Amino acid sequence: MKWNNIYSKKGEVQKRPLKFVGFLYKYLNKGKELKILDLGCGTGRHTFYLAKNKNWKITSIDLSPTAINFIKEKSIKKGFNNISVQEGNFEKIPFDNKTFDVILSTKALHHGSYDEIEGYCKEIYRVLKPGGYLVLSILSDKDFRVKTGKPFKGDINTRIYCYNLPDDDLPHHFFTDEEIKDCFEKYKFVYKKIKRRIAMIGLKPSTYYDLILQK
């Protein structure tokens, strides 16, 4: 597992929350108890950012046991009692239907072929409450890596061994605008912007779709 190795060697490689995630505060009731899922949470930069509001209960899921242990230890050290963590993935989210008010996933949902991602999205839709928000940052086909590496499972827009990525052994899907519309057709688009940013120090900037969607 490449990211587990990265976290084991480098620790908290992504520290600052993405600015557009802060826009979420505009739409949420700060005084209401909300259940928020940080899906593919890494070492928890958004987990801890959102958990500062003590009315919000944050559940964080990642495949990396190193990342999960990091969040557990930091939660205890910093005195957060509104964070719970567990290992898990997108394929089968281990919660009942309509559990969460908000689902957040940054730079994780694009790991798979488009067919696989459609399945992930069905799981996300299942566990999100009606009226709830889905917050995503996913790779765009405007990224310069879109034709690097090799196609994955016959999907021309999903590549493996892409240039200048730390997790090049994982598939990366580069979303077209049409795929964005199709994949999230059941949602209201609240925020949509193409953004270039550096994923990690030493890498060239990647191009993402930043999205806030409402079910």
Return the beta strands (E) in the chain as ranges: 34-39, 56-62, 83-87, 100-106, 128-139, 150-152, 155-160, 172-173, 188-197, 206-214
pLDDT in tens, 21-49: 999 989 999 999 999 999 999 999 999 99
Cβ burial of 88 (10 Å; 0-12, 13-18, 19+) is: buried
- Given a cut of 90, whether residue 9 has pLDDT beyond it is no
| b/e burial code for range 125-137 (CB count within 10 A of at least 16 → b) | bebbbeebbbbbb
Other beta carbons within 10 angstroms of residue 19's beta carbon come to 10
Give the pLDDT confidence score for residue 181 in this predicted structure: 96
Residue 207 CB partners (closer than 8 Å, separation 6+)? 139, 140, 142, 143, 144, 194, 195, 196
Which of 76, 8, 19 is closest to 42 using CA atoms?
8
Question: What percent of the chain shows pLDDT beyond 70?
Answer: 93
First to last CA, the chain: 32
Mean pLDDT of 159-175: 94
Banded pLDDT at 8 (limits 50, 70, 90): low
Q: How far apart are CA 74 and CA 200, in angstroms?
A: 21
Mean pLDDT of 103-124: 96
Give the pLDDT confidence score for residue 15 in this predicted structure: 72
What pairing do the DSSP bridges indicate for beta strands 56-62 and 34-39? parallel
Question: What percent of the chain shows pLDDT beyond 90?
Answer: 84
Give the pLDDT confidence score for residue 197 in this predicted structure: 94
Give the pLDDT confidence score for residue 12 in this predicted structure: 64
Mean pLDDT of 130-141: 98
| The pair of three-digit structure tokens given for residue 135, joined into one six-digit string | 């917050």
Residue 157 CB partners (closer than 8 Å, separation 6+)? 114, 141, 146, 173, 174, 175, 176, 179
> Comparing 16-20, 141-145, 197-201, which segment has the lowest mean pLDDT?
197-201
Give the pLDDT confidence score for residue 162 in this predicted structure: 95
- Given a cut of 90, whether residue 95 has pLDDT beyond it is yes
Give the pLDDT confidence score for residue 188 in this predicted structure: 98
